[in-house]
Structure 1
């Protein structure tokens, strides 16, 4: 498997902001930073699983506001710009966020904006959407059921009844492009997807399961194809919609007969490079968009860019 992916092309894996975890409990510093006019405040709104960030008019950058102009809402500290000349403190410019209930047309999803934001803003948006989704789905204590409160500048929820602390979670999921002895790629179409939409296979890691075992199990369950010991990790991408961390792999099949489960995958096919290019050119097959690690796995195997996307 000589192919690989360009990690810099993973749109949702980029980041430039220092998250400055050491400042999350420093209430005096946080209060001071909030009062500075050049502090930036991002906005996030929506329901869990559909959180959106405020963007500018042409939807190519985040729309920050100053603390003075920030609407009321739960506040999160995201980090510090440690770039020379940024901010009015020795550390740099502070970045906060406000969580709102309702999104308007001036908000965009990560699928829409993730690929066009710069490295700094992509990292801010991914972090913010992930945190907002977590807050939206964890308002109560998992131990006693009491309403929890936000502490540590938005990065922990504490139960005032039993004292339990609850932290943001990321659910590990494997995503894999499988090839055979002819170097064909296995792609599948999910239940409910339109005709022609194909992607790599993926699934969540189960408790007590290694990543490699999860790759083999998911491929077998979904497609009937058997993967051997040749399983290679190549990169990861946060996918906070609502809380996944996608762990990308290439793997080689030892048995290639396809028998889809029809619960998650309704069709799977082996594609040569020539087959996939011809099908993509005509629109017979459409692969995921540039915001997804799935597309990078496919194009890493193909060797260059492919036309079309969801």
Structure 2
């Protein structure tokens, strides 16, 4: 049984005009600046969210100066309002509970600092798009401080969307690393899930891996599944995609079919545990997290969650 995604993955939502021509138009930016809004992201990749995690808190851009501050980025424009983002240092000495790295956040009525993994699934469409784009750009800025050709420092131009080498003049644009992510099922009511060695016990997701040079997406799916769990797949089919700026991936989702009677051979150092689970258990684990012993699933911000949710819903009979 094949299936389609029941909706866009959480971080694939972007509802305003990215407005590429505006990025280098200083006169128009100056005209838009008085009404512009600013999203603040800290160096831990978090932003301030309100209304129980549903909305990014933006501020009047003029609070940050008479023009866009150095290092700020233009995210887009809607209804005559330009949206920018700026990076700010996280509070020194602040500790983030380790449990929040894997579980959903404890949402409150008060504004709170959350990262994309924590807030991506609860944010409204506009907030999710703004935050995802800002996080991706700032990650690229962090990794693109020096020229890959001559090693000289780079300078950001066009509202943070181009880095230009101060030595040789080489231009570079935001980088995206292609990765496949595949939900492997048996064509009926079982799905293959796995756990990485750094993940908590009982935390499972679908399989994924980076595309190699000269490799097609479908070939990557077949290779990665076989390398990671020793299973051959067939009927590979595209489902959808989602940016995943940790640090700069584009997750390209597929489904594929495999034989659950094949022995699982786990890649040492990459896969700590893998097993086939039933559709009923996946559905129950999604509807009531923690209700299926030993089966915690990918967080709602990930495309993996949307894939599992969609597969589980496809076989729902009642």
TM-score range, shorter-chain basis? 0.7 to 0.9
Alpha carbons 2:41, 2:88 under 8 Å: kept = yes
Q: 1:278 to 1:125 in 2, by over 3 A?
A: closer
- SS state at 2:272 partner: strand
Q: Does 1:97 align with 2:94?
A: no
**Superposed CA offset, 1:169-189 (max 9, x none):** 111111111112554211111
Q: Name structure 2 gaps, 5 residues minimum.
A: 95-111
Matched, 1:248 2:236: no
Give 1:298 deviation, angstroms. Answer: 1.3
Aligned residue in 1 for 2:179: 173
Contact 2:18 2:75 in 1 (8 A): yes
Paired residues for 1:4-83 under 5 Å: 4-8=4-8, 10-34=9-33, 36=34, 38-46=35-43, 50-56=44-50, 58-70=52-64, 73-82=70-79
Deviation at 1:168, TM superposition (A): 0.3
> Which residue of 219, 231, 240 maps to 2:225?
219
Cα pair distance change 1:181/1:107, threshold 3 Å: closer
Q: Is 1:55–1:107's contact at 8 Å kept on the other side of the alignment?
A: yes
Give the direction of change, closer, same or farther, for the CA distance of 1:277–1:31 in structure 2 (3 Å limit): closer
> Per the alignment, do residues 67 and 301 of structure 1 end up closer, same or farther by CA in structure 2, a change over 3 Å counting?
closer
Specify whether residues 274 and 94 from structure 1 end up closer, same or farther in structure 2 by C-alpha distance, changes over 3 A only.
closer
Alpha-carbon distance in structure 2 between the residues aligned to 1:248 and 1:211: 10
1:277, distance to aligned residue in structure 2 (A): 5.2
Partners of 1:11 and 1:214 lie apart in 2 by 24
| 2:102 alignment counterpart | none
Query: In the alignment, what sits opposite 2:154?
Result: 148
Shift, 1:56, TM fit: 3.4
Report the Cα distance in structure 2 between the residues aligned to 1:301 and 1:278, rounded to whole angstroms.
Answer: 13
For 2:91 and 2:83, the matched residues in 1 are separated by 20
TM-score of the two chains, using structure 1 as the length reference: 0.87
CA displacement 1:191-221 (0-9 Å, x = unmatched): 1222211110001111110000010111011
Q: Which residue of structure 2 lines up, in the alignment, with residue 86 of structure 1?
A: none
Aligned-pair CA distance for 1:68: 2.4
- Could you say what secondary structure the match of 1:220 adopts? helix
**Residue 160 of structure 1: how far off its partner (Å):** 2.0
TM-score when normalising by structure 2: 0.85
Distance verdict in 2 for CA 1:258–1:44, change over 3 Å? same
CA contact (8 A) 1:53 1:129 kept: no
1:234 corresponds to 2:250: no
- Contact 1:7-1:235 at 8 Å conserved across structures: no
Displacement of 1:76? 1.2
Work out which of the residue numbers 267, 292, 295 in structure 2 matches 1:285: 295
CA 1:214–1:160: 2 relative to 1, 3 Å: same
CA contact (8 A) 2:179 2:208 kept: yes
* Moved segments of 4+, more than 4 Å: 103-106, 275-280
Do the aligned partners of 1:60 and 1:116 also contact (CA within 8 Å) in 2? yes
**Backbone CA RMSD of aligned residues:** 2.2
Residues 100-123 of structure 1: CA deviation (Å, up to 9, x unaligned): 233588532001111121111111
Distance in 1 between the 2:48 and 2:143 partners? 21
- Change in CA separation of 1:181 and 1:188 when aligned onto 2, cut-off 3 Å: same
